[in-house]
Structure 1
Amino acid sequence: MKKIVFGLAISLLVIQVIHSQGSTEYSGGYKVKLNEDGSKYFRIIAWGQFWAQYNDNVADDASKFNLSVRRARLLTYTQLNKKFLILTHFGLNSLNGNNQSAIGTGSNSQLFFHDFWGEWSYDDKHQIGAGLHYWNGISRLNSASTLNFMTLDNNRQSWAVLGLSDQFARHIGVYMKGKFGKLFYNLSLDEAGTNNLQADIVPTPDGAAIYGGRRLLGSRDAGKLVQGYFAYNFLDQESNFLPYKVGSYLGSKEVFNIGAGFLVHPNGSVVANTAGDLSGEDVSIFAVDVFYDAPLGADGSAITAYAVYQNNDYGRDFTLGTTYDSGNMLYAHVGYLLAGETDKTRFQPYVSFQNRNVDAMDDSANRLGIGGNIYFTGHHSKLSFEYSNFKYGDNDSTGVFTVQAMIYL
């Protein structure tokens, strides 16, 4: 059955961190100096997104039109000197009429820490840190910034363990990151979460694996995972000051990167034999990707292109809804920024495509997205729209149309 969703999201970024957001028309950002030369300072970001959605594929007693707060966040980071940084990211996601708490303190409250880490530099090019962090492995899209997507939103399957081993794409752990010339890297050793999207499920005899290693086998055998990502920057060098990867530079840089990454969680998943005895299966996810963003001429036109191949092994015949499954994935998108003056309204049509081979059903899942961005002031003020068509195995395809308005200052 066809489903048409009309979404309107208003996103307000009050204050920007220039290292992570990739806007091409704004080089400031709100910086509070703590000494005269500015070597001691802190920065602040705040942003929110409001959605209004229409969905004609709902139960008879449900409203087809709904309002929600998609994101409300506050992020700060502070450097007292070049050797030390602390970052805090706090907020909520998807607050709606069904999960509101009467006085804001109930079990349905969505407010939580997204990030909280401290970082120490042992020289100008290499740093180590610890805390609840976003220095993810696997691919560029697994560390995407939500403020400068080229597509309407991220490719969901690229956040490959969101809610399975982490807290909303963040792990508690220790990390190291840096660069050797044009080669950028980040590596981490992390705790796996006990409570996840399969917290109430146990494996059935000879059935599919479930992601419950730490809960069912214990933290000694299944409590840790390792992940990392490496990217070689052939042309302009990107910043790795913060982990949030830019989606489109709108032709303000000439970037060509090839990357590779991984995540390995020993005994992360659990299966049961015929007798019901449990054993662990390693979760391993690997990817290679390529990113290209460059101006095409003096007329202001530009191209943004990205492709990734990702192999997902969550254990035997693992599936969870239509989001997670053992198998492999090929995803790509390309956008073309039409010629125009940088301080005028610009238009960027794009297309994206995802194909997944799913082991459990010996079939595939496919998603096609066709859309565009109207940039009024770069990523600061834009209107985005996308039609997507998704088909999972032999299920009926689902069509979704979304419009989003976004502003940040």
Structure 2
Amino acid sequence: MNNATKAIFLVIALTVSQLAWAQQPVASDTTNALTQLKPTPEKNELKYNLNQSGSHFFKATFLNQAWFRFNQSNPGSTVIGEPSNNTFDIGLRRTRMQLFGQISDHVFLYIQFGMNNFNYLNGGFNPTASSNRKIQAFFHDAVGEYLVFKNKNLLNIGGGLTIVNGLSRFSAPSVSSIMSMDVPVFAQATVDQTDEFSRKLSVYARGQIGHLDYRIALSDPFPIQTSGAALPVYSQNANFALKGHHKQYQGFFMWQFFDKEAHQAPGYNTGTYLGVKKMFNLEAGFITQKNATASIPTAGDTTYHAMNLWSVASFLDMPINRQKGTAVNAYLGYFHTDYGPNYLRFNGIMNPASGLTTGYPAGTQGNAFPMFGTGSVVYGQFGYLMKRDLFGAGNGTLMPYVQAQVASYQRITETMGVYNVGVNYLIKGHNGKFTLDYQNRPYYQAAGNQYAPGGRRGQVTVQYQVFI
């Protein structure tokens, strides 16, 4: 256990001990003794108040998302050197802890620590060397924020390692409150290329003024050389540049017609409020960076390209019948994704395959598909929350959903469609839920400098989420 991990666990231990101590009653007389016999209301959070009103506090949360998955492998896939037509794997999609609090009227601290995508391949299987299954957890966020106006979110200024992002609400998702099993990862546009799991070193301003929720950020992206993967090779297809270093400029804006979005954790956007709030937003965002990528045109010199990404979208999350507890969630967005000419990146979430047999395009193994590319994407989702206590008091309810990601990228010959259908069994809202998800995706084969679809494959996943 490294020093950072020890420090995190020490803080948690102290926080929990303070919580326990603060809640101990003092039985100095008969009245206090009788008070101890009264049942204490069930708590749903680990929170320690720093003042009597609770306006100053410190809080800890814990999240675990376990996946149990059957996948039809893309053609040519291998698992530890053996051809594999399908796989079954067990993994941890996300394991996280958050420590945050309003330390004073003007000071807010937010820290997140954890790991992602941990399965039997350990996220970094190397067939030519011994691997290390003790994958290091890391700091996702470490940010301090200054609230300029007391008790108001008109202007908050922050800095550090943070997910405060432009482009879209799904570029900075609150993963504990996802409506579907997983977020559309393409919206985390530079994930693990020039960022740290979508986080960047940034300085930002955010706030809510009337119906407007806004955030703007200046980010210092990481060089591609620090990604831990093989360095890109320049060709006629753009890839992240190996030379030069330029800042990123980002912005995201929401016009909120009804209730206001949650605004406590810096940058994070709620997936669904499960009918508690009445939300309808129009949203727009962007990310831009000078000379972010490079290519070498035929018989030419290295050419550098700006990265320009923007999106527009609508978001709906509101109750239908408050007495019954029914609600809907819907999102529809258009994404313009310009990484430079012919940029394309295959990606498979927690990929269950480790390699390919000879003759298949690199990076297409397992459950991978062209997730990121120069072109455009339309993404939509819809979910329906069924009546409260559908299976009896305390036994939870269901929320079925559908998702669609339709992309037109320069390097694929036809429009790509990736579709998901699933259902959440909400045992205790987002604090305890099972999700059953089926994904249908295309697989690809090389067609000159492009990729052509060769057929389709499916994936079935059960997720169990526990969150407090």
**Aligning the two structures, in what range does the TM-score lie when normalised by the shorter sequence?**
0.7 to 0.9
Please say if 1:226 is aligned against 2:255: no
Greater radius of gyration (CA): 2
Q: Does 1:110 align with 2:136?
A: yes
Q: Distance in 1 between matches of 2:258 and 2:54?
A: 30
Please say if 1:317 is aligned against 2:342. yes
Aligned partner of 2:467 in structure 1 is 408
| Residue equivalent to 1:299 | 324
Provide closer, same or farther for how the CA distance between residues 386 and 55 of structure 1 changes in structure 2, counting only shifts above 3 A. Answer: closer
Please, which runs of 5 or more residues in structure 1 have no aligned partner?
A: 1-14, 16-25
Task: Pick one of 304, 307, 310 that aligns with 1:280.
Answer: 304
- Greater Cα offset, 337-346 or 317-326: 337-346
- Give the TM-score taking structure 2 as reference length: 0.75
| 1:43 corresponds to 2:59 | yes
1:309-344 CA deviation, whole Å, 9 max, x = no partner? Answer: 001000001111212110100011111122344855
Distance 1:287 1:100 in 2: 30
Once residues 299 and 227 of structure 2 are traced to their aligned partners in structure 1, the CA distance between those partners, rounded to angstroms, is 26
Answering whether residue 401 of structure 2 is matched by residue 346 of structure 1, we say no
User: Matches of residues 92-107 of structure 1 in structure 2 within 5 Å?
Assistant: 92-99=115-122
Match of 1:367 in 2: 418
Amino acid at match of 1:42: F
Partner of 1:331: 379
**1:176–1:186 CA contact under 8 A, matched in 2:** yes
- Are 1:259 and 2:279 an aligned pair? no
After TM superposition, give the deviation of residue 67 of structure 1 in Å: 3.1
Hey, what's the Cα distance between the residues in 2 that align with 1:400 and 1:336? 22
Give 1:232 shift: 0.6
Residues matched between the structures, number: 375
Give the conservation status (yes or no) of the 8 Å contact 1:306–1:332.
yes
**1:176 maps to which of 205, 212, 216:** 205
Amino acid corresponding to residue 328 of structure 2 in structure 1:
I
Amino acid at match of 1:358: Y
Deviation digits for residues 215-244 of structure 1, max 9, x if unmatched? Answer: 32x22xxx2111110001101111222222
Who is 1:77 aligned against? 100
The answer to whether residue 263 in structure 2 is matched with residue 240 in structure 1 is yes
Aligned equivalents of 1:253, 1:192: Cα separation in 2: 35
Aligned-residue offset at 1:109: 3.0
1:340/1:109 CA distance change after superposition, 3 Å: closer
Deviation of residue 181 (structure 1)? Answer: 0.7
Quick one: distance in 1 between partners of 2:43 and 2:167?
A: 30
Letter in 1 for 2:455: D
Q: Displacement, 1:115?
A: 0.5
Distance in 1 (alpha carbons) for counterparts of 2:228 and 2:308: 18
- Within 2, Cα distance between the matches of 1:226 and 1:107? 37
**Which residue number corresponds to residue 141 of structure 1?**
170
Q: 1:337 to 1:97 in 2, by over 3 A?
A: closer
Q: Distance in 2 between matches of 1:168 and 1:405?
A: 22
Residue in structure 1 matched with residue 46 of structure 2 by the alignment:
30
Q: 1:291 Cα shift?
A: 0.7
| SS, match of residue 238 in structure 1 | coil
Cα deviation 1:108-157 (Å, max 9, x = unaligned): 73321101111111112211011011111111111111111111100121
How far residue 389 of structure 1 moved from its aligned partner, in angstroms, is 0.8
- In the alignment, structure 1 residue 120 sits paired with structure 2 residue 146: yes
Q: CA deviation at 1:290?
A: 0.7
Asked whether the equivalents of residues 264 and 283 of structure 1 are also in contact (C-alpha less than 8 Å), the reply is yes
Q: Deviations over 1:9-67 (max 9, x none)?
A: xxxxxx9xxxxxxxxxx985221123444344211112223333344535336794433
Counterpart mapping for 1:179-190 below 5 A: 179-190=208-219
Identity over aligned pairs, percent: 29
Separation of aligned partners in 1, 2:89 and 2:257: 46
Distance 1:283 1:344 in 2: 48
What residue ranges of structure 2 are gaps of 5+ in the alignment? 1-14, 16-41, 125-130, 347-369, 444-451
